[in-house]
Amino acid sequence: MSHLDIHAYLAEFEDIPGTRVFTAARARQGYHLNQFAMSLMKPENRERFKADERAYLDEWAISEEAKQAVLARDYNALLDIGGNIYFLSKLFSTDGIAFAQAVSTMTDMSWPEYRQMMLDGGRSPQGVRSIREGR
């Protein structure tokens, strides 16, 4: 492992379908977005956010695009701009929805369909391991 090429290591992550690996590049891009989400750990901040989401978001150094994605609860868009799922989960909790329900919104399934897929054993890795290799 000590001679692993960092460029090759990172490049492989882009070959996984439907997945954004939380790389340093994403961590940098999403820093303030994730810190905003983290702030919702505190009950007083959750109350202030719920009372006026836009005003609360405006206190943070995050882009207008990110603010709109938060307001729309568009989790795929938030992942694209550097959001991390464990940080974004503070938003699920603030909304009082189950983690799996929030996760289902990132797929092409409804929540009941997604829940049923999990009960049936989950999503098979077949065909979604590699874009390049189509396996």
CA angle 30, 17, 113 (to 5 degrees): 95
Pick from 5, 13, 65, 111 the residue near other proteins by CB under 8 A. Answer: 13
Q: Please identify which residue in the block is written with the tokens 């750990």.
A: 41
Query: Quick check: 63 binds other proteins (CB under 8 A)?
Result: no
CB 106 within 8 A of CB 119: no
Task: Please report how close the Cβ of residue 58 comes to other proteins at its closest, in angstroms.
Answer: 20
What string marks each residue from 66 to 105 as x (binds other proteins by CB under 8 A) or -? ---------xx--x----xxxx-xx-xxx-x-xxx--xx-
Give CA–CA dist 62/72, Å, rounded. Answer: 15
Q: Give the CB-side neighbour count of residue 90, counting CA atoms within 13 A.
A: 19
Whole-angstrom distance, CA of residue 76 vs CA of residue 68: 12
Positions that interact with other proteins (CB under 8 A):
1, 9-10, 12-13, 16-24, 27, 31, 34-35, 37-38, 40-43, 46, 75-76, 79, 84-87, 89-90, 92-94, 96, 98-100, 103-104, 106-108, 114, 117-119, 121-125, 128-130
